[in-house]
Amino acid sequence: METHSTQQVRVLCARVSEHMGHLVTVHGWLHSIRHLGQLAFVNVRDRSGIVQCVLEGELAKTPLSLESVVSVTGSAAHAPKAPGGIEIHAASVRCISAAAPLPFEINKKTIGARLDTLLDHRVLSLRHPQLHATFRIQAALAGAFRDYLCQHDFTQIFTPKIVASGTEGGSNLFPVDYFGRQAYLAQSPQFYKQMMVGAGYERVFEIAPVYRAEEHHTSRHLNEYVSLDVEMGFIRSDEELMDMEQEMLRYMLEKVAAECEAELAFLGVDVQLPADITRIPVAEAQHILQRKYGKTSPKGDLDPEGERLICRHVAEDGKPAFVFITRYPREIRPMYAMPAPENGALTASFDLIYNGLEITTGGQRIHDYEELTASIRSRGLNPDHFAGYLDVFRYGMPPHGGFAIGLERLTSRLLGQPNVREASAFPRDRTRLTP
């Protein structure tokens, strides 16, 4: 319950059933109105759910508009035909804040408006139970990620988002005027999480936004997204990282299934835990795609169609398809990627593809100062520009590695959403800067 300054006690819609035969007050948004003679059936929605309220006589004539914020006081009663088998026989109705005419209906099972329209009116569209459920589930995923890592002795860190240089030496950086100096929005916390490993924390993680100034406009990309980052020291190989991510994903999905049972049921999503995730070197994956599907891949990599097809290849009995793609060539991986022990032209790195979309990039990092400096130079970059990052490697750095999961991509794949913007509360892409 929540107590307000007027001493009036509020009951959440989902908890009205605990007060049968008693007077209750609910506050929320007016989800729907149905008039039937001298009666009006009003559904009120709050953060917990929806409850039906019955207005009789003069109350039924109360002028109300959809999505207005209202307060209803009345007696809680059983009603087999009402949603949840419960209703409130209203004694009073008060409009707290009237709503203007709506740009689209949000009291249907699904919203008929186009995605761009929903994003233009994002706060209104987020009121819809279907979209509301999406972000409840996303919050549970992030919470489970944190819980798992804290249980395994990881420390949560908070790193700068205004940086002096890019982590990957690329041009996809958003410039920032930093008191007359050139700075950038961070592409990744990569350097800082490695530095925190080297600072003696050994195991660290972060949940934070990252920024990519890439000129794409696809259903897969955002220019700002939430990255679930992990880094750990004293690893034996990248295999250890994949083992941990596999176990962590099982934990996350299992916890979400338990915590968000109602939301998942509403969306018609059956969460299935991944079995042991297949690991395929990228060269082998390319051969499979060529042989099985006649698909030609870009050099050393898979394109979006290839990611979808390789998941089709590993999928079994309609279960969700997870596959690790490993051993990417050095030329397409960042300068800090550790060369593969069996072939220096390849890296001890991986991507995780989930139902046709890459959700993770990770791998072992170079921990030797001289080797890392040489790798930076081999990319045509000046090590002096990375001095703050390189310095920690001069004073003893353990073998280490990590990975990053795109939270919006993970959410959209779990819920079967075709566009990653659906899993971003306020997406930022090449054309969208508001709301």
Helix residue ranges, H only, 379-433: 387-390, 407-415
Give the pairing of strands 86-97 and 49-56: parallel
Which element (helix H / strand E) includes 151? helix 129-151
What is the spatial distance between Cα 158 and Cα 204, in angstroms, rounded to a whole number?
Answer: 10
Cβ-contact 205, 146 below 8 angstroms:
yes
Peptide linkage before 435 cis (omega within 30 of 0):
yes
What is the spatial distance between Cα 386 and Cα 157, in angstroms, rounded to a whole number?
Answer: 21
CA 224 → CA 39, 211, 305, 362, 433, distances in Å? 49, 5, 23, 19, 10
What is the spatial distance between Cα 118 and Cα 116, in angstroms, rounded to a whole number?
Answer: 5
What is the spatial distance between Cα 165 and Cα 381, in angstroms, rounded to a whole number?
Answer: 11
Which element (helix H / strand E) includes 87? strand 86-97
What is the spatial distance between Cα 108 and Cα 124, in angstroms, rounded to a whole number?
Answer: 14
What is the spatial distance between Cα 372 and Cα 198, in angstroms, rounded to a whole number?
Answer: 14
Size of the chain, expressed as the number of residues it contains: 435
What is the spatial distance between Cα 353 and Cα 340, in angstroms, rounded to a whole number?
Answer: 21
Binding residues for L-aspartate: 168, 212, 361, 365
- The angle at the Cα of 379, spanning 326 to 160, to the nearest 5 degrees, equals 80
Binding residues for ATP: 212-214, 220-222, 358, 406-409
Please tell me what DSSP assigns to residue 280: E
CA 198 → CA 206, 361, 367, distances in Å? 16, 21, 9
Binding residues: 168, 212-214, 220-222, 358, 361, 365, 406-409
Amino acid at 422: E
